[in-house]
Amino acid sequence: MNRLPALAVAFAVTFATVVSGAAVAGLVGGDGAAPAPEIENAHYTDTDLVNDRTPGEATIEMSSDAPTQTVVFDPGVDPSADQPAGPLALLGFGGPEVTARNVRPLANVLLENGHEVRVYTPESSRPAPTAGPSTGGESSPLGEELADADAFVTFRSDYSAAALDDIESFRESGGHLIVATEPSAGFDAPGAAALDGRLGTTSGPGYVYNMAENDLNYQRVYAEPTGDSSLTEGVDRAMFETVTPVGTAAAAGDVIRPIEGSQLSTTRAPTNAPVLARDDGVVVVGDSDFLVPENTQRVDNDVLIGNLADFLVENDRAGSHTAATQVGAPTPTTPAPGETNATQGPSNESTPIPEPQNATSA
Amino acid sequence: MTPRRQLAAVVVAAALLGVVVAPSVYGAASDTGDTVAVVEIEGPVTAGLADDVESELAEIRANGSVGAVVLKLDTPGGAPAASERMYKAVQRTSRAMPVIASVQATSASGGYYAMAPADDIYVLPTSVVGSIGLNAPAPAPRAPVAGPSGPDKVGTNEIEGWARQQTLADTFVNAMMAERGEEFDLSRAEVAEADVYLGTEAVENGYADEIGSLTEAVHEAATRAELGDYQVDTRETGPEGRFPILVRTDTQVVAVYATDPGYGEVEPMGLAYVHLGSVPHVDTVAQIAGSDLPAMETGANTTGTAASSAETVAGPNALGSLDGGERA
């Protein structure tokens, strides 16, 4: 009988072991080995999800057979920005907005067709922008550059009053201009309005975007010609990257407008305001990136750039280029504001084109 | 019967009885499900946070005592892959039990991505949700670098970069349309605009389902799981130490892993599912974290506004002295 306690203990230990084991398994283990079947997410495997990354190709050609013309580019180089790159450059600070790559495609096609290209890179400090009239009779360094040029492409708007006078005179004398602006120009000092005032051009606030149909980003918008013109011949569709609406004083100056579905950032409302417009000898475009090499390869940008090159050389400026080959002519004097046209007279046609001190050839 | 046989018989009987009782005990232990687990998802979405959230949710799914989950969110988003990992973990959990998301101040971009599979999204009236999109700098052409084995090893083609970014953005937007397309009162194009909405507006346009606090979200989760008396088990997540501060430059977001960072502790995020409005600009951080700020000299925490300390306006180079900078 004295074995009963031992048997009871054995029973209790065995029972407790089995039951507690089950309890622990239930608490800790649970359904830890539960299967984890794959969850189908069709939105990850949609064949349309991956965007086409083909860069495309560009063929930029001119159709004009105009004789050699001189085209001056002003990429808006700020001499004071010529600082050594610091570590913050790695984080995205600094760097010019318009680089050599921006002007290369247009400059190249001009050079390939025998025209002369100069890039205006002022070495002196940048003149302060002002909207007032010029007070002196001296020509600006830019004016000296334009004196023997036929066309002018600028990515800048904050010119001095003297330079504005020279640009206006240049235009009045038949020179052709392309003014490329950016939505970000609206955040600069208000010099742009002064240039617009001289040229009769406008640029709107904000940027155009299209959420429904775009070129790989909502700010890379498509735009199409509104009618037939020499600027848009062969262009069914162009692409602009972060473009602002532009306009001219001309009644029907618009040339290219964004496609349906485009909206304006400041209003979030649909817009079809022009992004490229022309008023006789002035073309204003609300983007300076549509002609970088990668973007020339998108839709018909290459054709548009070729047409713009034609526009530049098909100017009404009295020819001083043939004269440039003549030797022995007197050196031209610096044109005063309003006299730029006069410098293109016959007496100057025999003038070799002086290499400006503050210009480099592209 | 010998004593040895008596003992054996008793043991066998006990074992048999135990086996009979064990299933009930196991079931009682494993199926109580009387706990609502509150999983915190707070701070920038990083791989470390995703590690914790994944493991916590896996443990919750395996633990039969948890009957429902509430995600307590306060995050501006962050890394795409980390956001996707949490999305998948929440999606899998929501297949197993009720999951309610409870937004505190913000759950935007990658944070919204993570909580989208929840059964319901609770917001406070002034919570900020949305920002369904990708933040990324524009692909920029780089001067060629000699040496790498292929053209895309260093740098990329600009168009290819745009395509990759758009695919990354579409992946996010498509996932959100799949999860909440029926709730959204907006078209896909409108969702892709990546706007953020206050809680009061979010419950109107489908970005959220209910106005409610964390307590109300917990109660809803318990109700859906048909829990009677329940207890709340809060699971903290996020890596200890190396908790990044997000700051933005003019072009992108960078994660800073120290208050006095060296180069190795500043990590450009590049492509990020992040709500920029919740990430301070580096200039703002520099302004409030200037080294000659009186509060800083005494070691006080500086989470005030830039306006209150604008007398010390440091330039971008002040990135090297983010002493006590505001945490994003």
- pLDDT in tens for each of the 362 residues of chain A? 567 788 888 888 888 887 777 666 655 554 444 567 789 999 999 989 999 999 999 999 999 999 999 999 998 876 554 444 444 333 333 445 677 788 899 999 999 999 999 999 876 444 444 444 444 567 789 999 999 999 999 998 889 999 999 999 999 999 999 999 999 887 776 666 789 989 999 998 999 999 999 999 999 999 999 999 999 999 999 999 999 999 998 877 779 999 999 999 999 999 999 999 999 999 999 999 999 999 999 999 999 999 999 999 999 997 554 433 333 333 333 333 333 333 333 333 333 333 333 333 33
Query: Is B310 strand, coil or helix?
Result: coil
Backbone angles phi, psi at B78, to 5 degrees: 170, -125
Flag if A17 and B193 touch (Cβ within 8 Å).
Answer: no
Whether the CB of A21 is below 8 Å from some CB of chain B: the reply is yes
Lowest mean pLDDT among A217-226, B8-17, B158-167: B8-17
Distances in Å between the Cα of B24 and the Cα atoms of A319, B15, B18, B64, B249 are 104, 15, 10, 14, 61
How many other β-carbons are positioned within 10 Å of the β-carbon of residue B185? 9
Distance of alpha carbon A148 from alpha carbon A334, whole angstroms = 10
Flag if B165 and A216 touch (Cβ within 8 Å).
Answer: yes
**A residues 79..108 contacting B (CB < 8 A):** 86-88, 90-93, 101
> Ramachandran region of residue B263, left (φ > 0), alpha (ψ -120 to 50) or beta?
alpha
Whether the CB of A269 is below 8 Å from some CB of chain B: the reply is no
Which tokens in the block code for residue A347? 């007496």
Residue B99 pLDDT? 98
Distance of alpha carbon A148 from alpha carbon A321, whole angstroms = 8
Place of tokens 């548009």: A304
Burial of A333 (0-12, 13-18, 19+ CB in 10 A): exposed
Distances in Å between the Cα of A277 and the Cα atoms of A197, A250, A267, A340 are 15, 9, 21, 25
Q: What's the number of CA atoms in the CB half-sphere (13 Å) around residue A258?
A: 33
Question: Residue A359: in which H helix or E strand, if any?
Answer: strand A359-361
- Burial string for A224-251 (b: 16+ CB within 10 Å, else e) reads bbbeebebbeebebbbbbbbbbbbbeee
Chain A residues with CB-CB distance to B263 below 8 A: 87
Residue A100 pLDDT? 75
Q: What is the DSSP letter of A24?
A: H
Which chain A residue is nearest to residue B253, measuring alpha carbons?
A91
Mutate which of B20, B25, B171 to disrupt the A interface (most A C-beta within 10 Å)?
Answer: B25
Whether the CB of B23 is below 8 Å from some CB of chain A: the reply is yes
Tell me if A294 sits within 8 A of B159, measured CB to CB.
yes
Distance of alpha carbon A72 from alpha carbon A257, whole angstroms = 27
Tell me if A358 sits within 8 A of A120, measured CB to CB.
yes
What are the pLDDT digits (tens) for B290-326?
655 444 344 333 333 333 333 323 332 322 222 233 3
**A residues 292..311 contacting B (CB < 8 A):** 292-294, 297-298
Distance from the Cα of A264 to chain B's closest Cα (Å) equals: 13
Q: pTM to 2 decimals? A: 0.76
Chain A residues with CB-CB distance to B158 below 8 A: 55, 294
What are the pLDDT digits (tens) for B100-145?
999 999 999 999 999 999 999 999 999 999 999 999 989 988 888 8
How many other β-carbons are positioned within 10 Å of the β-carbon of residue B201? 16
Place of tokens 């407008």: A257
Distance of alpha carbon A311 from alpha carbon B252, whole angstroms = 39
Distances in Å between the Cα of A337 and the Cα atoms of A72, A160, B49 are 18, 13, 67
Tell me if B233 sits within 8 A of B68, measured CB to CB.
no
| Sequence-separated contacts (24+) of B125-128 with Cβ below 8 Å | B125/B198, B125/B199, B125/B200, B125/B211, B126/B198, B126/B199, B126/B200, B127/B103, B127/B198, B127/B199, B127/B202, B127/B208, B128/B196, B128/B197, B128/B198, B128/B199, B128/B275, B128/B277, B128/B278
Query: Got the DSSP string for B87-143?
Result: HHHHHHHHHHS-EEEEEEEEEETHHHHHHTTSSEEEE-TT-EEE--S-B-PPP----
Question: Residue A168: in which H helix or E strand, if any?
Answer: helix A161-172
Backbone angles phi, psi at A159, to 5 degrees: -95, 155
Flag if B167 and A21 touch (Cβ within 8 Å).
Answer: no
Maximal CA-CA distance, chain B: 98
Q: What is the DSSP letter of B309?
A: G
Chain A residues with CB-CB distance to B1 below 8 A: none
